[in-house]
Copies of this chain bind each other. A is one copy, B any other.
Amino acid sequence: MATATKAKPAKAANTAPEIAFTLKTAALRNLFEMTREIADLWAIQGLLGWDQQTQMPPGANEVRSEQMATLEAIVHAKRSAPALGKAIAKAEAALEAHPERATVADRALVREARRMYDQATKLPEQFVRDFTVATATGYDIWHKAREANDFAAFAPILERIVELVRQRSRYLDPQASDPYAPLFDEYEPGMPLEIAEKALEQLRKATVPLLRRVRAAKQVEAGFMEGTFPHDDQIKLSRRFLEIIGYSFEHGRLDLTAHPFEQSIGSPDDVRVTTRVHEDDVVSCLMSVMHECGHAHYEQGIDPALKRTILGGGTSSGIHESQSRTWENIIGRSEAFWQAHYGEMQRAFPRNFSKVPVEDFVRAINRVGESLIRVEADELTYNLHIIIRFEIERDLIGGKIQVRDLPEIWKAKYRDYLGVTPPNDALGVMQDVHWSSGLFGYFPTYSLGNCYAAQFAAAMRKAHPDTDARLAKGETGFIREWQREHIHRWGTIFQADELCRRVTGESLNPKYLIAYLEEKFTRVYGLK
């Protein structure tokens, strides 16, 4: 049955006036309607992916891929439709003619529509096809080469992928001074690469000596963390902590997957998280759940006025990661938080924890490991893993280094920054899937997320100087409220850099993360 989808922006009673769309011109109303359809289809794509990871019968993988390809082709056709291009141009003209008639939401709608349309139209169809084939092949070869610890087998396809990624960059912005910049901009739109680059450099310069001091100090006692922690008990505890930190099961759910993730199904009303359990590790699942819940807080906190629009998601990879890192690390590994909730852990696993004081537990979950593998890294060394990848991929795309030299460059950087040398390439340069899939420009957003997180936390502590005292009393709602007001509800209205300036009064600045890490690890390791 034909059901007309009319341009009726959802406006909840509590929507701030600057978030609401006003759509005072026909051009804006038309654009709103055209992009709403795309937003709904994105949501449906999200559901197809979520179902594939969590519920789908194992034998349905092939047909699901084909269904997803069909829907993606429809979405692509809509994103790149000449009619949409014209509608955007008209809306841009209307904005220019009568800027006073538009809210920030109206303006952001046009900006994001333009961005989405350009992304879809700048890459020629044949190029997209070549890229898809190369990265599908790349993934397969990487997978086998890693198993066989055979970088030479992986190098040729990686060279081909790097060449295509350079081409991609030229299509996206032929004028770019640095070919890495247009790639980075896909994930952290509006954030100048130079700012990010400088931030990561400062972070490296501060972290490397701090790590050396930590390595030289007396190591943290954590024998009590060893044991077997049954699957169901861990899931029960994880659910309990989701409730404690305010995840809404009315608008979400927790499922099991091989790799944890958060997926919004198109609105704050339906934001799902997943996790997995290692029975020999009591905090891995719990911290992963806190991490995904940080992502979910963001999506569940977006203003209802942005529901079912192309502004209805988080604004960038880095800002999204800042929210997950806040709940996983800044709150989830803080002594104040555990003062309130350690009893839950002790009751769940009394054999391990009934006689261990909370201070020892918190030190244990903050200890710094050997750190060969990124996904297992602690809070201090994690950024160095990222910075290594960022430096390498930037120089690779820039043509300053060659694929064949990657294993040696990787090992040298690991030795210099982290003080470890990978025993082989499988545990070294081939440990991550990203490059084999053509994903360049994404890595830095992980560490930018940590930078934003610390910078936001500093701003929040100004507004709530009693943060630790309240955390220690078991309160977390005030943090989420602060995040919602300043970050979450705005969805994609502001791009990352502008959002950061609005929230903290300045652009991205790594000094907050550096100070946070200095303070924490000085305390945990009793450094002088």
Chain A residues with CB under 8 Å of chain B are 1-5, 36-37, 40-41, 43-44, 47-48, 51, 55-60, 62-64, 66-67, 69-74, 76-77, 80, 125, 128-129, 131-132, 248-253, 265-267, 269-270, 272, 307-308
Scoring A37, A43, A66 by chain B CB atoms within 10 A of each residue's CB, the highest score goes to A66
Per the bound structure, the CA–CA distance linking A248 and B64 in Å amounts to 17
Is B60 within 8 A of A270, CB to CB?
yes
CB–CB B55/A67 < 8 A: no
Q: Is the CB of A64 within 8 A of B270?
A: yes
Contacts of A251 in B (CB 8 A): 57, 59-60
Q: Quick check: B63 and A2 within 8 Å, CB to CB?
A: no
Checking B2, B59, B62, B70 against A5 with a beta-carbon cut-off of 8 angstroms, the contacting residue is B70
Query: In the complex, which residues of chain B have a beta carbon less than 8 angstroms from the beta carbon of A41?
Result: 70-71, 74
- Do B47 and A51 touch (CB < 8 A)? yes
The residue that A252 contacts in the complex, of B5, B57, B64, with Cβ under 8 A, is B57
Known: A59-B270, A60-B265. 5 other contacts (CB 8 A): A3-B69, A44-B44, A47-B48, A59-B250, A63-B266
* Chain B residues, Cβ within 8 Å of A3: 69-70, 72-73, 76, 132
- 5 shortest A-B CB distances, which residue pairs? A60-B270, A40-B70, A3-B69, A59-B251, A59-B250
Chain B neighbourhood of A77, CB < 8 A? 2
Considering the chains assembled together, what is the distance between the CA atoms of A194 and B397 in angstroms? 73
Docked Cα-Cα span, A37 to B58, in Å, equals 23
5 contacts between A and B (CB under 8 A): A3-B132, A57-B252, A57-B272, A59-B248, A62-B269
Stoichiometry (number of copies): 2
CB distance from A83 to the nearest CB of B (A): 14
Q: What residues of chain B lie closer than 8 Å to A72, measured between beta carbons?
A: 1-3
Among B5, B63, B252, B272, the residue within 8 A (CB) of A308 is B63
A461 → chain B closest CB, angstroms: 32
Query: Residue of B at shortest CB range from A1?
Result: B128
Known A37-B70, A48-B47; judge A128-B2 contact (CB<8 A). yes
A51 to B266, CA, bound (A): 14
B270/A2 in contact, CB under 8 A? no
B267 lies within 8 A of A63 (CB): yes
- Measured CB to CB, the nearest residue on chain B to A79 is B2
CA distance A80 to B72 in the complex (A): 21
Q: Using A44-B44, A57-B253 as known contacts, say yes or no to A269 and B51 having CB atoms under 8 A apart.
A: no
State the Cβ distance, A333 to closest chain B Cβ, in Å: 28
Kindly identify which residue among B47, B57, B128, B129 contacts A250, using a CB–CB cutoff of 8 Å: B57
Residues of B within 8 A of A58 (CB): 250
B51 adjacent to A67 (CB under 8 Å): no
Docked-complex contact B270 and A63, CB < 8 angstroms = yes
Neighbouring B residues of A51 by C-beta, 8 Å: 47, 51
- Contact B67 A269, beta carbon cutoff 8 Å: no
